[in-house]
Structure 1
Amino acid sequence: MRKTSSPFSLNRLLACAATLALAAAPALAQDKPVQLKLSSWVPAQHPLNPALQAWADDIKKASNGTITAILFPSEQLGKAFDHYDMARDGIADFAYINPGYQPGRFPIMAGASLPFLFANGKGGTAAIDAWYRQYAAKEMKDVKFCFAFVHDPGTFHARKKITVPGDVKGLKVRPATSTVGQLITSLGGTNVQASAPESRDMLERGVADAITFPWGSIGLFGIDKVVSYHMDVPLYVTPFVWAMNQSKYDGMSAAQKKVIDDHCTTEWAEKVATPWADFEYGGHAKIASQPGHEIYKLTPDQLEAWRKAAGPSEAQWADSVKKVGQDPKAVMDSLKASLVKYKSAL
């Protein structure tokens, strides 16, 4: 004769089934809400900001709404120079970092701003991100590296025409990065330190005579009002990093961490950087259409002179990389191979 299940055993069975159903449900449904502070030092109308917002919106969707974010542009949370430390210290949960604003602190990444490497910003972003991932955990150990990216190549914009390296002698130049600053110094120029938002004022007051900057941002930051001459050559790019506060990441659930990891990839680096790359590329035509501006190309001999002039900067960079226990040739060969792979090598 078969036994009939007691109400007690039936209740236990139902309870077990409910527990199993909960365990099978997406972990995200049980995660605690997390709100992220995203810090960007460029002005609100800069094309990077909508791209970062779109990135954050996709994280919200992928986390079933458990991870939300507020974007603070225009240095609201702190100065451009301070963004790495802001991410480290939790002033921002994610921060937009220009490693070149702190000379000597990130010697490996500084190699990416050596002259005459990058042909474009889109493939260049994929190339720098894929390359730097092997070094980021050591060189930027205070933060969680998310991705790296570059703008479309920039050049000299000045009050006077600069055609050969000797023209830099005696000039006061605001360099985009410490690596470009080494080039200026080696040519007899003087570096004037200023973040992008401070640059127009420096030029307007005569504190600087020239600036290295990408094309679209010349108009965005109002620098086109104070410089007239523009060298038409892809001289350099500025490498950037989007980094997270490590403690904020550590405090997330495993499922939430996976969402962040899925949004800290080379593919996402390219998605975020592409609108900015397009904007900077388009700036060339905008400057060309303005009266009072001269955009000039270099002759082959002039271009070769600039390439030779960049030699000491690469030697200085190599010395700095040796000091942190890396082989500069291997580092640079790896970067160049990545540039070729992503069709962004000059």
Structure 2
Amino acid sequence: MSTTRLMPSAAARAVLALSAALALAGAPAQAQDKPVQLKMSSWVPAQHPLNPSLQAWADDIKKASNGTITAVLFPSEQLGKAFDHYDMARDGIADFAYINPGYQPGRFPIMAGASLPFLFANGKGGTAAIDAWYRQYAATEMKDVKVCFAFVHDPGTFHARKKILAPTDIKGMKIRPATSTIGQMVTSLGGTNVQASAPESRDMLERGVADAITFPWGSIGLFGIDKVVSYHMDAPLYVTPFVWAMNKGKYDSMSAAQKKVIDDHCTSEWAEKVATPWADFEYGGRAKIAAQSGHEIYKLTPEQLDAWRKSVAPVEAQWAESVKKVGQDPKAVMDSLKANLAKTSSAL
């Protein structure tokens, strides 16, 4: 007895081929994908508002990958010091790391432009702006890692043991700067920089190793710095740019579908989602400081503010030279940042 083998029609074969191609090209992560667990490192303390945002981001990745990508968050420098987080992401000590590029002066000159004084009016729109802007440069300047997104906190200012009104008041002071760019400003005004990560800063101030610090408002209370400083300049002096970055090898080891899930969570929209609760927290910190006894929050006169703006010109010139050394046009870089800030209503 003979049997006849039924062959699929040309149309059926085409449909099957198209289905297979679509599955490979970008279908959601499938249950058969190899399970991946991510080690995420955050150097801020567990109660910091950034950590729940990073956890919510990771939870959404788990959902989008059908449970094949899970993550464990390690806060409080458990995996390494704050200064080391870029190298930790590069070397795979962490699969994702929260990086302050300003902790390594001179290493990331383009990103340093975002910490020049008097640029950012707020943290929310500022985050959307810096992320859109830095995507042009991330693959070159931070080529050792996969930059997921960039973000900023709400603007910070000087918090000190004495009142700082004019740029000339900095002369002779010992100041812990938030970034290398602010450190250059301190030096140009005759002050001395005291290097310390955020978790180490209260101790430096308490022991008199530093007289002042540049810090955002809400974190002053979170890190206990409100116990050792009394005077607070009410001006949006600076923001600190941050990067959430991934180990390249970990990314490369994932399936195509899993990579797509990661890429879908490394966007300007996600940068803003992650940064907004922190921006709200920092913004609300000013009122908390104002409600405490023993603290003075003071505004600058228009003349004083103008003097501060003029005082940062040497720092801007230094920054421009550092950008030229890596083959970029500083005017084009800064014009692009300012255009993005204007677009998101976050320019000063």
Structure 1 and Structure 2 fold alike (TM over 0.5): yes
Matching residue of 1:215: 217
Q: State how 1:157-236 maps to structure 2 within 5 Å.
A: 157-236=159-238
Letter in 1 for 2:230: S
Matching residue of 1:60: 62
Normalised TM-score (structure 2):
0.94
Letter in 2 for 1:36: L
Distance 1:284 1:143, change over 3 A: same
Matching residue of 2:242: 240
Q: State how 1:107-118 maps to structure 2 within 5 Å.
A: 107-118=109-120
Deviation at 1:4, TM superposition (A): 7.8
Q: Deviations over 1:256-279 (max 9, x none)?
A: 000000000000000000000000
- Answering whether residue 124 of structure 2 is matched by residue 122 of structure 1, we say yes
Matching residue of 2:39: 37
Deviation at 1:116, TM superposition (A): 0.2
Matching residue of 2:285: 283
Distance 1:297 1:38, change over 3 A: same
List runs of 5+ in structure 2 lacking aligned partners: none
Distance 1:108 1:190, change over 3 A: same
* CA distance in structure 1 between the partners assigned to 2:159 and 2:316 by the alignment: 23
* CA distance in structure 2 between the partners assigned to 1:26 and 1:269 by the alignment: 22
Worse-matched range after superposition: 29-38 or 116-125: 29-38
* CA distance in structure 2 between the partners assigned to 1:285 and 1:254 by the alignment: 47
* CA distance in structure 1 between the partners assigned to 2:114 and 2:29 by the alignment: 40
Deviation at 1:27, TM superposition (A): 5.2
Percent of residue pairs identical: 87
Q: Deviations over 1:287-337 (max 9, x none)?
A: 000000000000000000000001000000000000000000000000000
Q: Deviations over 1:42-71 (max 9, x none)?
A: 000000000000000000000000000000
Distance 1:26 1:38, change over 3 A: closer
Q: 1:317 aligns with which of 319, 332, 336?
A: 319
* CA distance in structure 2 between the partners assigned to 1:4 and 1:54 by the alignment: 62
Deviation at 1:159, TM superposition (A): 0.1
Distance 1:238 1:27, change over 3 A: closer
Letter in 2 for 1:265: T
Letter in 2 for 1:298: L
* CA distance in structure 2 between the partners assigned to 1:160 and 1:190 by the alignment: 16
Matching residue of 1:75: 77
- Answering whether residue 264 of structure 2 is matched by residue 262 of structure 1, we say yes
Q: Deviations over 1:168-216 (max 9, x none)?
A: 0000000000000000000000000000000000000000000000000
Q: Deviations over 1:225-275 (max 9, x none)?
A: 000000000000000000000000000000000000000000000000000
* CA distance in structure 2 between the partners assigned to 1:310 and 1:132 by the alignment: 22
Matching residue of 1:331: 333
List runs of 5+ in structure 1 lacking aligned partners: none
Letter in 1 for 2:34: K
Distance 1:256 1:189, change over 3 A: same
- Answering whether residue 102 of structure 2 is matched by residue 93 of structure 1, we say no
* CA distance in structure 1 between the partners assigned to 2:29 and 2:153 by the alignment: 38
Deviation at 1:29, TM superposition (A): 2.5
* CA distance in structure 1 between the partners assigned to 2:182 and 2:242 by the alignment: 15
Residue aligned with 2:60, SS: helix
Give the superposed CA RMSD: 1.8
Q: Is the 8 A contact 2:29 2:65 kept in 1?
A: no
Residue aligned with 1:134, SS: coil
Deviation at 1:28, TM superposition (A): 1.8
Deviation at 1:30, TM superposition (A): 2.0
Q: 1:341 aligns with which of 340, 343, 346?
A: 343
Letter in 2 for 1:106: F
Matching residue of 1:249: 251
Q: 2:302 aligns with which of 286, 300, 303?
A: 300
* CA distance in structure 1 between the partners assigned to 2:298 and 2:48 by the alignment: 26
Q: Deviations over 1:4-58 (max 9, x none)?
A: 856xx48x99xx99xx699568552221000000000000000000000000000
Matching residue of 1:272: 274
* CA distance in structure 2 between the partners assigned to 1:182 and 1:216 by the alignment: 24
Deviation at 1:78, TM superposition (A): 0.1
Letter in 2 for 1:183: M
Q: Is the 8 A contact 2:30 2:257 kept in 1?
A: yes
Q: Is the 8 A contact 2:95 2:246 kept in 1?
A: yes
* CA distance in structure 2 between the partners assigned to 1:217 and 1:87 by the alignment: 25
* CA distance in structure 1 between the partners assigned to 2:164 and 2:242 by the alignment: 27
* CA distance in structure 2 between the partners assigned to 1:73 and 1:62 by the alignment: 24
* CA distance in structure 2 between the partners assigned to 1:186 and 1:146 by the alignment: 34
